[in-house]
Amino acid sequence: MDRDEFFDDDYVADQESSFRPHTDITSHELTSALHSLALLRDDMYLGLQVTNLAVVDQFIMNLEHHTLQEYFQTDKTPPTTMFLNAQSQMWIFAAYELLRTWRARAKDIIKLANNGGLELKAASLEEDQGYLHAGREMRAKQLRQIAADPSIIETIKIDLRRAHIPFSRLEHLRVSFAKHEVRGRNNSIAYAPGYGRINMMNGSLQYQLENGPVILDTISRRDVADELRALNDQSNIPTVEDLASFDEFMRASLSKEELEAIRADSSEF
């Protein structure tokens, strides 16, 4: 898309409608969305990480806005873009680690419930350590609550489905940034890991989600944050079939014939 097309009035109006002004977004939205996930809302220490994400999200949205305004004024990439890129990637790492930790704990609890091991695990956590261990006590209390109310397991399974798509997209970015690989492909080489371009609607840096020769999508830090905020809406929970279809899409690759066709098209230029 060339610059004239990018700034076509209809196109801009279309894009702007999909992004709320950052001044309309409160930190509570991200906090409440993440707290809607079972196991996360009643863990004080994970809650601190949620607060950190929400606070820094507000800071970065403001930075994104000012970076975009400077770009419009000078028609040049602002020097602050480097700092914005660094902050964006660090926020993505933090968001990934929070959700990775939560997912691992959720899946472990489902296994314990299936094996009848919730009470045993709680008892082991409550063993005397010779000092007060608030983290172990909190985890044991959580397990005993689930053992007393097995319906919580079904809630955890639903929450894992709700968070699957935003987490998978987030993980794809994280692997590219941190390992310079393509998610799910050990020893692969990511295409331009960490290179982002300014989104002209909100100033957030956009990165490519790629899988070999296939560009699956572009995604910005603001997209990730908005997808997490959308967890507040539980009216359309994806089915197992929906998630299977999504996972298949994320594994997209081209056949040998398709690759040869691309090379043939490229040779004409």
239-265 pLDDT, tens digit per residue, is: 999 999 988 888 876 556 645 654 554
H or E segment and range at residue 210: strand 205-211
Question: What's the rounded Cα separation, in Å, for the pair 6 and 12?
Answer: 7
Cβ atoms of 85 and 196 closer than 8 Å: yes
Q: What is the pLDDT of residue 242?
A: 93
H or E segment and range at residue 3: helix 3-6
Bridge partner residues of 182 (DSSP): 185
User: What is the phi/psi pair of residue 42, to 5°?
Assistant: -110, 25
Q: What is the pLDDT of residue 88?
A: 97
Q: How far apart, in Å, are the Cα atoms of 59 and each of 20, 36, 89, 99, 265?
A: 16, 23, 14, 21, 45
Cβ atoms of 34 and 228 closer than 8 Å: yes
Q: What is the pLDDT of residue 262?
A: 45
To which residue do tokens 């299936």 refer? 114
Question: What's the rounded Cα separation, in Å, for the pair 60 and 57?
Answer: 5
Question: What's the rounded Cα separation, in Å, for the pair 168 and 246?
Answer: 9
| Ramachandran bin of 21, using left for φ above 0, alpha for ψ from -120 to 50, beta for the remaining angles | beta
| Ramachandran bin of 214, using left for φ above 0, alpha for ψ from -120 to 50, beta for the remaining angles | beta
What are the CB-based long-range contacts (under 8 Å, 24+) for 181-190?
182/210, 182/211, 182/212, 183/211, 183/250, 184/251, 185/211, 185/212, 188/212
Q: What is the pTM of this model?
A: 0.85
Q: What is the pLDDT of residue 136?
A: 92
Q: What is the pLDDT of residue 56?
A: 98
Bridge partner residues of 215 (DSSP): 210
Q: Which residues of the chain have pLDDT under 70?
A: 1-17, 253-269
* pLDDT tens digits, 135-154: 899 999 999 999 999 999 99
| Number of residues in the chain | 269
Q: How far apart, in Å, are the Cα atoms of 83 and each of 40, 89, 115, 185?
A: 31, 10, 48, 30
Question: What's the rounded Cα separation, in Å, for the pair 113 and 83?
Answer: 45
Q: What is the pLDDT of residue 8?
A: 43
Q: What is the pLDDT of residue 5?
A: 40
Which of 111, 93, 203 lies closest to 153, judged by CA?
Answer: 111
Q: What is the pLDDT of residue 12?
A: 41
Question: What's the rounded Cα separation, in Å, for the pair 171 and 100?
Answer: 9
Give, rounded to a whole angstrom, the gap between the first and last alpha carbons of the chain.
18
